[in-house]
Amino acid sequence: MDKNIKILIVDDFSTMRRIIKNLLRDLGFANTHEADDGLTALPILKNGDFQFLVTDWNMPGMTGIDLLRAVRADEKLATLPVLMVTAEAKRDQIIEAAQAGVNGYVVKPFTAQALKEKIDKIFERVG
Amino acid sequence: MEAVNLIDPNSELVSELKACAKLLTEKLQSNQYEEASVLIQSMTQARDRHMFQSVGKLTRGLHNAIVNFHVDADLSQTQKIADAGINDASSRLQYVIQLTQQAAEKTMDMVDEASPIATNLGQEASALREEWLRLKRREMSPEEFRGLYERMNEFLMQMEVGTASLNNSLQNIVLEQGFQDLTGQVLKRVIGLIGDVEKDLVQLVFIASQVEEVTGIVTAKGDDGDIEALIEKRKHEAEGPQINKNRQDVVSGQDEVDDLLSSLGF
């Protein structure tokens, strides 16, 4: 697969963005960009052909689940693969994310292995 | 703070009421209705006065608890916090976020610094090992051997400098963990305040219920529909990390997330 794909990482904590960025870099994905909530992420996504979105759920401004819905509702972004990396662990929330069209769900705290597995699985499906 | 007890049988109020009641019976039995009515009025006033005093006392207690929290300066560590101008619970919590973020960032800086050194040493070591094996197999020309000889010397020097630098990074990572102590102290204080405020609030609710009871205010029954909507909303609300591992509506880890999603056909 193309390791140079453009990836947007959305999390309100800069340390978590950096952890995800480092893990992605270790997996060979170096073309990563960052946003700190849904409101800032959405225009970035709309303006720059991203091929993968990694987002947190609980963020001020616009939450990850709302960002996911906005992405799925947008004609241009509708098929963008989305991985949710979040501390939210309620069954109802996981079901909600699945129904909203998430491609993968990783609960924090997570391991490098778990992140890699989900990403591999997503791109296996998306092709 | 001092507990407010409204129905202390030894209180002034109760003895006053008892005295009045005795007098009232006497007045009523001797048909002195006007005086009886004055007595009833003074009893009501005594009760109201007591109620207001209780509420006042409690409000002062609550106020004191909050004020006390602002002016602490006795502990050596909190002095540091006070110096930074942090004097209320939410800025204390902000301080915790700030410290933990700094520590996380510095730790990651150290790892970023250390990681290429370790990678380089590892790569050079495996390259040298290849050469070494060639030497053992006697596949090396004297010219190449001189090269290896120099390279080995170079590598040992790199090793010396590199491991010193790695050790330094590791030490710094350990030092950065000091945030645990500082944030722990701040969090304990905030937990203490929450405990105090909770106690005061329980007392306040208790008084409020007493006030309602004596004044005959009836609490409006909550709309069940609203409560159900609220419960439904809470189900989907973001909560952050789960502290209670025994909750049934929560997954315990990535395996359960995967099981749940695959049961849904994902």
Interface membership of A113 toward B (CB under 8 Å)? no
Q: What angle do CA B48, B206, B41 make, to 5 degrees?
A: 15
pLDDT of residue B229: 81
Total residues belonging to chain B: 266
Q: Which chain A residues are within 8 Å of B242, Cβ to Cβ?
A: 87, 89-90
pLDDT of residue A125: 79
CB contact under 8 A, B239 and A58: yes
Which residue of A lies nearest to B104 if distances are taken between CA atoms? A15
Query: How far off is chain B from A75, nearest CA to CA, in Å?
Result: 23
Interface membership of A126 toward B (CB under 8 Å)? no
How would you label B217-242 residue by residue, b for 16+ Cβ within 10 Å and e otherwise? eeeeeeeeeeeeeeeeeeeeebbeeb
Query: What does the alpha-carbon distance between residue A116 and residue A1 come to, in Å, rounded to a whole number?
Result: 14
pLDDT of residue B84: 38
Series of mean pLDDT values for 10-residue runs along chain A (127 residues): 91 91 90 95 94 94 96 95 93 94 92 90 80
Are A41 and A55 in contact, with CB atoms under 8 Å apart?
Answer: yes
B101 vs A14, A110, A114: nearest CB? A14
Series of mean pLDDT values for 10-residue runs along chain B (266 residues): 51 83 89 88 86 75 59 48 54 89 92 94 96 92 92 95 94 88 88 80 71 60 69 78 81 89 84
Interface membership of B245 toward A (CB under 8 Å)? no
CB contact under 8 A, A90 and B249: yes
Name the average pLDDT for chain B.
80
